[in-house]
Amino acid sequence: MDPARFRRLCGGLHRLSPRQVSEIEARLAGLGARTEVLAALDRRAAAMRACPRCGVEALVSWGVDRRGLQRLRCRACGRTCSAATGSPLAGLRRPEAFREVLRDMMSAARPAACRRLAERHRLDKTTVWRWRMRILAALERGVEPLAGVVEADQTSRRESRKGSREWAQHARDPRAFPEPPRPTWREWRRRGLVMPLGTSRWRLAMADRAGARQAGRLESHTAPSLYAALDATLRRDAVLCSDGDPAFATFARAKGIAHHVIHAKRGPRVVDGAFHIQTVNQLHAALKDFLRPFNGPATKYLSGYLACFIARQHRQDPWPDMLAA
């Protein structure tokens, strides 16, 4: 709203009836969360120096956008941007509802269903689902290495192709999309066969004694895939504790890392009174409880769900990361 219209609005407030005043107060109370989010974005815009498009420090003020956010223009490339450009909040008309969806995912209780969140915030369920995918993608960024005594273990999860369009794409364009290597569920039902469990997708969980946690998806249950995950997450001065999988011992010898093998089945479960894998086993159990309400998330989104689980374990607030480009 331009300053002249705002002054005219304020000048007519004394002519409002009590009922109209109550209605305005109710509407202003509902705008509190939106104002808070937009103010945080404007503070970030005031601190921006480099253009998110070209990286040149040549930003100047360029009015406001339809949400009321400060718009900036780069004198080098000529393109405009705002504090939301390049962040998960880019293009959102209701950033305050996005923050509530984020808080629901990071709350201590189990996340609510997309339909329930959509009804609560007057959104479409598909919109809530897309926002969740944005949040999961943002949480995947950055992995802090683990140090000290680090426990590592891997487990498998049934592959899920929920929401896959592979057969629909093949029917539309057989040349560009080859026939999938599995029948459709209708074909399995027509033949009277039991649908197989599918290929297992492996995941690796790690925990150190300082409270840091990591979990990630492995591309396959092979030694090179495990080596790549360990090399990106484990510091060289760490002490690795694992089960009897020989791949962990091979990696530790190659990198010169101290390694203790814990045989959970035949024992002993604790070596030298300090080395065990009970913490990471508890992490696996908590991860299964976290994934259960989602009824088998699609495998292609599994890494994002693991990142969300780790953020909940750390009790960290990812809202500042959502504001960052």
What single string gives the DSSP state of each residue in 122-141?
T--HHHHHHHHHHHHHHHTS
Q: What is the pLDDT of residues 195-220, one digit of tens each?
A: 554 555 678 888 888 888 888 888 87
C-alpha–C-alpha distance, residues 245 and 227, integer Å: 12
Every domain range in the chain assigned CATH 3.30.420.10: 149-159+201-294
Structure tokens belonging to residue 215? 């979990």
Fold of 149-159+201-294: Nucleotidyltransferase; domain 5 (3.30.420)
C-alpha–C-alpha distance, residues 219 and 63, integer Å: 47
pLDDT for 11 equals 85
C-alpha–C-alpha distance, residues 109 and 141, integer Å: 24
Amino acid letter, residue 294: F
pLDDT for 252 equals 93
C-alpha–C-alpha distance, residues 307 and 313, integer Å: 10
Q: What is the pLDDT of residues 4-51, one digit of tens each?
A: 888 888 888 888 888 888 888 777 766 778 888 888 888 888 888 899
Residue 211 has a CB neighbour count (10 Å cut-off) of 10
Query: pTM for this structure?
Result: 0.74
Q: What is the pLDDT of residues 104-147, one digit of tens each?
A: 888 767 788 889 999 988 899 999 999 998 888 888 776 678 88
